[in-house]
Chains A and B, each alone.
Chain A
């Protein structure tokens, strides 16, 4: 599979989690309002979109940790197909709680 296909899949799963994982999203939204009230001029909709972006990115970085550990243990200078597969699988696993809602509602 081409590298770009992995990146698209990772971004897709992250986006789904950022949009449909209401539990994590509401937790992050509450904390963005609390810790950075001025970052988006107090706008509720903008803050919600920012929270969604944070949730999606957090999904991707959390799933990237096992892949990064694998690369460091193997002493690789660049990501290979296995580490990208680990990254994608981790993102897919973290997105499972949001998948039901995504399949019900759709994009």
Chain B
């Protein structure tokens, strides 16, 4: 009796084990049969997905994501394309952590998107392959094909680690109907140019009258990046401004007087009610889209959202020069090659893929980004693209965040500084208190040796 029971248990256990093997084999087989390979079976066996597959990681959501998928599809439909496996992740710090850990773990993608301001840190951490002139030439590219502002800024020392895809500056959106009502539209149908703070405030006052609510909106709550972009745009427009950080972030070198004055100006705009003191990212756009504000400040990528609003007539311009010289906060999306052993063929296939996507910059430009690839940017087709081409000059006076191991788009630096600027906008902190808090928090980073 005991023996029988024992046998039956043993048998069923073996059966279970066999069954498990069967399932595993089945997965393997299925993977082998379907030419392109299954990610699961490749993962289980630790093999490459399919010989020559390009792994491409990016951080594009929303309208950008849709356009990038269009570009990927165009690549796959093109002659001689390699199999492509693209993965999209949520942007910001988690994305860079993923790229870092994957590269450290020896399983990075073949090519990845990185912000220009974050690429430098990845490169300094030894996570990227340098891109030589020969490598570029092998696929018919050269340094002169790219916007020089972006090209010079991506360099680490003398080395190139990134191929810029675009420049994405902080820009001004406006509601045409509201601006017409406020008398701010010129005979050419575009916004009458605004120079200096006096003109800006009178335009906002006229707009406020027309809307009955606000003149201009920018998010102030729960979005540190936008607050930083708005401040950095105005700060950079001033004569005598100095970069916020120097020597790789070990020194805080902002101009205190100009910082306090710019903060005070930003606060004045919300205190006088020309701009809302408390509104979040979605709220700021909704106010402009629904005609409760004439202007809206954000990166140009929100063009897709604006286009999707039925009946909204809008256009865009670079941020007006309110102070001494044109400037706007910006960053660039770039292609980087995470460190890994590549055969010459793999490298060529990867670079050909990048070149193909650069050639698709027109699709990308429709999403608002200013192409960094000059053959497209200088084309007639792009010049005809409106309102995108209206703010294209912004790429040439773009201001990138100062390099430091803790700075860049979506970084701790932006979080620390942007958070305090947000409080200033909301009227919850004085410029002086905000700057003191910023200084105290940044000092901790400045005093810490770079972990890169």
A binds B: no
Residues of B participating in the A interface, judged by any CB pair closer than 8 Å: none
Residues of A participating in the B interface, judged by any CB pair closer than 8 Å: none
